[in-house]
Each structure stands twice: as C-alpha cells, then as structure tokens.
Structure 1
C-alpha cells in the first residue's frame, strides 16, 4: 500500500484548469480498485492518495497518467507502508 502526497508547484489558477481531468484520472483508478482514498490538503497546497497496488513500479506507471504530473503542476512524495491494524470497517485492507 502507498501514500502519495501531492504538493502543488504552480499557482492554484493553473491547478484549477486541470482539476476536472485529474478527477477523471482518480475515478479510473478507483474503478480498478487501485485507489482507496483521496482528498486535498487544507490549506489547499496539494492532496493525498491512498493506493493499493502490487509494486512501486506499477504505481509510478499510474502516476505518469495524472494530468498534474503531465503538466508539471504537482510534485509527488510516495511512501510505502504495510498496514498491520485497522478499524473494523477497514479490516479488508489488511494483508493476510
């Protein structure tokens, strides 16, 4: 599992031009089961994505599809983690 932190590198006026396309990117990966949670930071300086993919290489390939990446709008920090505890509603995210 991976936590992706996006930090905007361009003014919000430029970010806003690509938000709709970025949301379509997110929706595709929610539909595939690869993305589990996402949302923006407060204050609005970027956002987070929780991804459940098999490898860092797979995640890197996915992130190349993000219009924020393509347009140089955001910088990405990726942290891999192995969940070991979860609330009952999220227990299905734990590995065997």
Structure 2
C-alpha cells in the first residue's frame, strides 16, 4: 500500500524549532529503511510537510506516532491510504519490495 502523510503544525514556529533536529533524524532513519519514499515541506512551509510512505498502514501509523514532532505535540498527522491503480514501473518495484 501507499500512504500520503500530511504533517500539519499545531504549534507556533518557535515551539516547533527545538524539535527539528530530531525530526530530521527520524526522516533520515525511515528513508534509509525504505518506509519513506519522499518527504518535503509544503510551500509555503508554515503549513507543515508531506511524506509518501509504503508498507502496511498499521506500521506507517506506528512510525508516524514516533515522529518527535508528534511526540512533542507540535504537529499532527493525517494519513491517506491509496491503492494505486496506475503507476510508473520504478514505483511499482518499490511498493512490491516494501509492502510487507
């Protein structure tokens, strides 16, 4: 499965800033393990960010709950699960490999 994670700030920027290093480490860890395929800030960046994740929804929910932003209560996640009908072959390979 493919999941779009919408990360929305729930606190002022000065409350978010101290948690940025932990959040970046969290992103790097889950990009390295193959759970996250893409991550980035919204434009404008004051809205939050978007993550494209793969794997079982239950695992993605657990991973989202571990984000230092979520733990600190400065951001909230909305997870939209997508059952891709048409996709590029390279993305199909990633989804097949990580959908466990």
TM-score, with normalisation over the residues of structure 2? 0.84
1:89 deviation in Å?
4.8
Report the equivalent of 1:4.
5
Report the equivalent of 1:23.
24
1:51 aligns with 2:53: yes
Hey, what's the Cα distance between the residues in 2 that align with 1:52 and 1:25?
Answer: 16
How many correspondences in the alignment? 94
**Do 1:2 and 1:78's aligned partners in 2 also have CA atoms closer than 8 Å?**
yes
Q: Deviations over 1:41-74 (max 9, x none)?
A: 11111000000012x2211111121000100011
User: What are structure 1's unaligned runs of at least 5 residues?
Assistant: none
User: What are structure 2's unaligned runs of at least 5 residues?
Assistant: none
Q: Which structure: greater helix fraction?
A: 2
Question: What value does the CA root-mean-square deviation take over the aligned residues?
Answer: 1.6
Query: Hey, which bits of structure 1, 4+ residues long, moved more than 4 A?
Result: none
Hey, what's the Cα distance between the residues in 2 that align with 1:74 and 1:59?
Answer: 16
